[in-house]
Structure 1
Amino acid sequence: MKNVLLAPVYCLVAVLLMAARPFAEVELVKKRVLSERVEILIPKGFEVMSEQQMDFLYAKAQSRPSVIYTNASHASLSFTYTDNTADQDMVPMYAQNFVKTYKKQYPDATFFADGVKEVNGRKVGFIEMMKPELGHQMYTLIFFTDVEDRLLMCTFSCPDRQKPEWETVAKQVMGSFRTNS
């Protein structure tokens, strides 16, 4: 009798575990980007966005990413190799300035974390937030460091409803960052 009463509980637990399983199984593949300056893990199935798509999306923007990897469900990872001078000593300063700028630019955003951490022997600044974009909320993890004396900014973003699926993956991507210089 006790087993009969617990059967629905076991079924519920099994369904929840199966539902959560795809989130943990995003396969990451090693890619070299920005003329092989950077090595990073990118979710399998993400493809480079075409120049035409980038031109359309960033037609009114002051600058656009150097390269964007995206998938069919609106998650993306972009790399912007800026002209700004940067070195390891400047990463904490950039982190402080970016936090101030983003908080001012997105007063309605929810900020989860920010700071500087060491990733594969390098200082990497980051900001993690949920911000409004085109009428809905986007989970965004921005991370940045110096590459060959210039600032590289990487942005992983997805719609808020996909945050449970992509948040851990975004952090794994950031944690895999390596420069080849």
Structure 2
Amino acid sequence: MKTLVLSLLTCFASMLMAARPAAEIELIKKHVLSERVEVLIPKGFEVMTEQQMDFTYAHASSRPSVVFTNNNLVSLAFNYSDNEADQDMVEVYETNFAKAYHKQYKQATFFSEGVKEVSNRKVGFIEYMKPEMGHEVYTLVFFTDVQGKLLICTFNCADRQKPEWEPLAKKIMASLKANS
């Protein structure tokens, strides 16, 4: 009985956090990927366990290096790929990713895409909403080069949470710093 009550309280607390206005969600500085990257992450987000990763990415073609989440309601994934990259290649990656995403996600609504400067570095991004498992999912993908390899970051939340989380997703992207 105690376990059930504790589980319900944890679930309720997670739902409250997910429903909080963006102004109330604190972002804290974290170093990820063996100190290669510094980024703001919502306070209270935890690294997804191996079991959660196995379940969440069971059918994915590739699995992120690390995922931060608030009990799977909102997630921020980092994929430090084996693909070579440098600052000159970011625009090429953006063009190729945009073409591939538009082709793969024909039912998606695309909001914006391009390359912007973040902490004196080029960062490509694609922002869209797509149907997934019976509901819509807001996604902001952003990427840059880190130590000669491509880093791809993906922020996801349910469409009903977009008004609260979209500004935070953009703040997270704007906070990205690659350590040499």
Q: Indicate whether the TM-score tops 0.5.
A: yes
The count of residues paired between Structure 1 and Structure 2 equals 162
Write the letter of the residue equivalent to 1:135. G
Aligned to 1:112: 111
Equivalents in 2 of 1:105, 1:131: separation in Å? 11
Identity in percent: 69
TM-score (structure 1 length as normaliser): 0.87
Q: Please show how residues 2-41 of structure 1 align to structure 2 within 5 Å.
A: 22-41=21-40
Q: Please show how residues 40-55 of structure 1 align to structure 2 within 5 Å.
A: 40-55=39-54
Write the letter of the residue equivalent to 1:116. V
Q: Please show how residues 141-180 of structure 1 align to structure 2 within 5 Å.
A: 141-180=140-179
Write the letter of the residue equivalent to 1:38. V
CA deviation string 1:14-66 (max 9, x = no partner):
xxxxxx98321210000000000000000001100001110111122221000
Moved over 2 A (4+): 20-23
Equivalents in 2 of 1:119, 1:23: separation in Å? 21
Write the letter of the residue equivalent to 1:164. P
Aligned to 2:137: 138
Equivalents in 2 of 1:171, 1:70: separation in Å? 17
Aligned to 1:97, what secondary structure does the other structure show?
helix
Coordinate RMSD, CA, aligned: 1.3
Write the letter of the residue equivalent to 1:138. V
Equivalents in 2 of 1:177, 1:68: separation in Å? 15
TM-score (structure 2 length as normaliser): 0.87
Q: Please show how residues 70-85 of structure 1 align to structure 2 within 5 Å.
A: 70-72=69-71, 74-85=73-84
Equivalents in 1 of 2:42, 2:114: separation in Å? 24
Equivalents in 1 of 2:22, 2:94: separation in Å? 29
Equivalents in 2 of 1:35, 1:110: separation in Å? 35
Aligned to 1:8: none
Unaligned runs of 5+ in 2: 1-18
Equivalents in 1 of 2:121, 2:67: separation in Å? 23
Aligned to 2:60: 61
Aligned to 1:68, what secondary structure does the other structure show?
strand
